Amino acid sequence: MQTPQLSTVRRAAPTLPDAGVGVGVAVLLLAASWIGVGPPWVINPRPLEAGAVVLIGVVAVTVALRRRYPESVLVVLNSVALVWSAAHFPGVLIPLTSVIACYTLAALRGWRWGLAGSVLSALGALVAIHLAFGARVPAGLSGTVVWMIATAGAAGTAVGYYRALLVATRAQLAREAQTHEEQARRHVVEERLRIARELHDILGHTMASISVQAGVGMHLLATRPAQAAEALTTIKRISDQGLTDVKTMLGVLRSDNEPDEPRTPRGGLDQLDALLDPVRVAGVEPKLNVHGSARSLPAAIDLAAYRIIQEALTNVLRHGRASTVQLDLHYEPSQVVIQVRDDGRAASPGDTTTNGRNGHGISGMRERALALSGQFSAGPHPQGGFRVRCALPTRDES
């Protein structure tokens, strides 16, 4: 099916090389006829005259157009060979011009057309030989001519398949290159979204914790200097950790000159105490309950669970106005279930986000969970307060 495409390409090819081939064939035929190339047993040979020159001219024009009209060229060249032999013009090379037509037809139209053209040309050549020699056909001449025509058809078929394979290979390479470019662009977009989500969680949690601790320090500065100093110490620790995480995250944007550097801020369920300390200092009592046997989780699951808990606690500090927050971790055989529930305020009529919580934060948590084939829900709890629940699969397939 790709051979017609090659034919289309050939139709658009320059005609100057084809014209040169046609002129060369005409000169060769004219010279061969002038000196009488071929067996001398032609019946009543005629001298080279105007009719022969006209036929040679027809051959020249036809050969020049062989790649544009290969079927018509095959018919015309075989017809010229029959007329030449019937007229007993000198020289026997004209019947061999059908070899050119067979090769071209097979190369441009495929093996079926090539086979049909070879059979037609072989029959035409046998008839032309009979007209030229009658009963005195030289031994082996017919077989040689048929063999040459068959070889030309086979060679044209091989060349046609090679061209079709070359076109298909180039097209496949072009498609693969385009697919690779699209995947690279998609990877860049996904990486940017991941970085934005990480920065949102890091900065959101850090700034909310700093704000709460600063408020506590200002409130206790005059009456309880020791607790105010503790709040300032907590602010420094939180800001230092946040700066470290931001620096690590922004390092992803640099060139890979330092491949050994971590590409993701460190975080995991083994660092929950660092998340609960700011909550505790802010006056919200955290309660951590671990159900089941704690175990090491895949890195992606561990980081996602850490970030979801971090964002949920950040929302409690920002919007919950809660006095307690309960964090439950359920280690199940095939998943880890996270539940963060506070006793804060219920939704107010003017809220445009979920229970007044940060809508972007909730959507970020949901995206993290769904990206790992997990489940996520967030909303007011029937018994009061706000609950975030997430289930992340922990099987290796995740």
Output the pLDDT for position 48: 72
Domain locations in the chain as residue ranges: 3-177, 277-398
Q: Which stretches in the chain have pLDDT values below 50? A: 1-12, 14, 41, 255-264, 347-356, 397-398
**H or E stretch covering 381:** none
Distance CA 12, CA 10 (A): 5
Instruction: Answer whether CATH 3.30.565.10 is correct for domain 277-398.
Output: yes
pLDDT in tens, 252-268: 555 444 444 444 455 68
Distance CA 253, CA 244 (A): 15
pTM: 0.46
Distance CA 398, CA 395 (A): 6
Give the contacts of 255 (CB within 8 A, at least 6 positions apart).
none
Distance CA 361, CA 378 (A): 11
Is residue 134 within 8 Å of residue 43, measured between CB atoms?
yes
Output the pLDDT for position 340: 93
Structure tokens at 268: 């995991």
Distance CA 22, CA 33 (A): 16
Is residue 220 within 8 Å of residue 227, measured between CB atoms?
yes
Distance CA 369, CA 25 (A): 76
Output the pLDDT for position 348: 45
Our CA angle for 363, 364, 367, nearest 5°, is 85
Output the pLDDT for position 249: 64
